[in-house]
Amino acid sequence: MSTAAAAIKTGASDAKDAVSRAIPATTQAVSKAVYSTFYYVSYGVVYTSLFVKNYLPLENPVGYGIADGAAAAAEATSDRLKGPEQD
């Protein structure tokens, strides 16, 4: 009976060690997946926008909309990075 109890304790200890090693690896894998996802989404959006801006004729309503939208986004980003205005 004591051998079975010792085996259960050893198994529980081994399981605890395995879980403690698996958690950092899992966290790292999830972090890398999230980073990669947002990196490639951002790259795709910015690359496509720059392609459209630089290689397509933009002297039309579509081009004006893209230019105005980009300017508004840049201004909003700049304002947000500055923080709230101090009165």
Sign for the pseudo-dihedral over CA of 26, 27, 33, 34: positive
Per residue in 32-59, pLDDT (tens digit) is 999 999 999 999 988 887 787 777 777 8
Per residue in 5-16, pLDDT (tens digit) is 676 667 667 667
The helix (H) or strand (E) run that includes residue 56 is none
Give 63's contacts (C-beta < 8 A, 6+ positions apart): 56, 57
CA 38, 40, 54: angle at the middle one, nearest 5? 120
Sign for the pseudo-dihedral over CA of 49, 53, 55, 57: positive
Domain ranges of the chain: 1-80
